Structure 1
Amino acid sequence: MNNPLSRPALALRRIAPAMAVLIVPALHAQSASFECSHAGTPTEHAICASPALGKKDIEVAIYYRLLLRLKPATAGMAYREFDDQLRDQQRKWITDSRDACKSDLQCLGQAYDKRIDSLLRTFDQNAALTFGRAAD
Structure 2
Amino acid sequence: MKTARLSTLLVGLLLAGPATAQIASYECTKAVTAAEHAICTSPSLGRKDVIAATYYDLLLHLKPAVPGMAYREFDDHLRDEQRQFLVTRNACGANNSCLEQSYDDRIAALRKIVDRNAAVVFDRPVGP
**By the TM > 0.5 criterion, same fold?**
yes
Counterpart in 2 of 1:71? 63
User: Residues 23 and 46 of structure 2 are in contact (CA less than 8 Å); yes or no, is this contact kept in structure 1?
Assistant: yes
> Can you give the 5+ residue segments of structure 1 that lack an aligned partner in the other structure?
1-5
Contact 1:73 1:129 in 2 (8 A): yes
Question: Residue 102 of structure 1 aligns with which residue?
Answer: 93
Most deviating of 117-126 and 63-72:
117-126
Q: Does 1:53 align with 2:60?
A: no
Look up the SS of the partner of 1:69 in the other structure: coil
Report deviation, 1:20: 4.0
Provide, for residues 53-112 of structure 1, a one-character-per-residue CA deviation record: whole Å limited to 9, x for no partner: 0000000000000010011120210111111110110011101x2111100000100100
- Deviation for aligned residue 1:29: 3.9
Query: Secondary structure in 2 aligned to 1:127?
Result: helix
Question: Displacement of 1:21 after TM fit?
Answer: 5.7
Higher relative contact order (CA 8 A, sep 6+): 2
Q: CA RMSD in A?
A: 1.6
Match of 1:13 among 8, 31, 53: 8
TM-score by length of 1: 0.85
* Structure 2 residue aligned with 1:62: 54
Moved over 3 A (4+): none
Q: Calculate percent identity across the aligned residue pairs.
A: 49
> If the length of structure 2 is used for normalisation, what is the TM-score?
0.90
Residues 133/17 of structure 1: CA separation in 2 closer, same or farther (3 Å cut): closer
Unaligned residue ranges in structure 2 (runs of 5+): none
Structure 2 counterpart of 1:39, from 31, 43, 50? 31
> Does residue 113 in structure 1 map to residue 97 in structure 2?
no
